[in-house]
Structure 1
Amino acid sequence: MKLVEPPSCSSPSTIVFVGRNRRGQWVAQEQNGLYGGLFVSRAQAVKYARFENGQHPGTIIELPREIELDMGKRPHTIVSQRAA
């Protein structure tokens, strides 16, 4: 029996960037750094991005510039303000 990990994204509007790094490897990275990876081909990077974002190809953006995988990013924190 093959176990499959569920997608990491929680929203279908999650944007995933796909492009090459300076070494020529393909990178797929969620806009806030929640998930990402390095791949040997564009097809594998896009396949991963589609799986992780819930099969929404319209939210995958291929970048013409270099992109480096950065898993140290922190998701944006929503700060609630209370009225005084």
Structure 2
Amino acid sequence: MKLVEPPSCSSPSTIVFIGRNRRGQWVAQEQNGLYGGLFVSRAQAVKYALFENGQHPETIVELPREIELDMGKNPNTIVSQRAA
């Protein structure tokens, strides 16, 4: 009998965005809003992202613009750009 693992929400194709919010805190947020958090350092944000995504550093994207943690109902709008 062959064992098959169920699909994981932390599949290697899952992108995790990291960056700073407008208050200077580090944010890590999964692209669909499934998980995320606020951190005091970049290292902690990356460590969390690696833990959550199954140790896939290639799926972590550091954003040059602000990112706000959004655990609301619309996960497609997690990345916000600073207003000019």
**CA offsets 1:4-62 (integer angstroms, 9 cap, x no match):** 99998331110000000000000000000000000000000000000000000000000
In the alignment, which residue of structure 2 is the partner of 1:35? 35
Structure 1, 71-80 or 44-53: larger mean CA deviation: 71-80
The 1:6–1:79 alpha-carbon spacing in structure 2 relative to 1, beyond 3 Å, is same
For residues 4 and 63 of structure 1, do their structure 2 counterparts lie closer, same or farther at Cα, with a shift above 3 Å needed?
Answer: farther
Task: Give % identity.
Answer: 93
Secondary structure of the residue aligned to 2:75 is coil
Larger radius of gyration: 1
| Counterpart secondary structure, 1:38 | strand
Gapped regions of structure 2 (runs ≥ 5): none
Over 3 Å counting, the alpha-carbon distance change for 1:41 and 1:4 in structure 2 is: farther
The count of aligned residue pairs is 84
CA pair 32-18 structure 1, distance change in 2 beyond 3 A? same
Tell me how far apart the structure 2 counterparts of residues 48 and 71 of structure 1 sit (CA, whole Å): 16
Q: How many Å separate the matches in 1 of 2:82 and 2:40? A: 48
Ranges in structure 1 where 5+ consecutive residues have no aligned partner: none
CA RMSD of aligned residues (A): 9.8
- With over 3 angstroms needed to count, the CA separation of the structure-2 counterparts of 1:71 and 1:83, relative to structure 1, is closer
Q: TM-score, normalised by structure 2?
A: 0.76
After TM superposition, the score normalised by the length of structure 1 is: 0.76
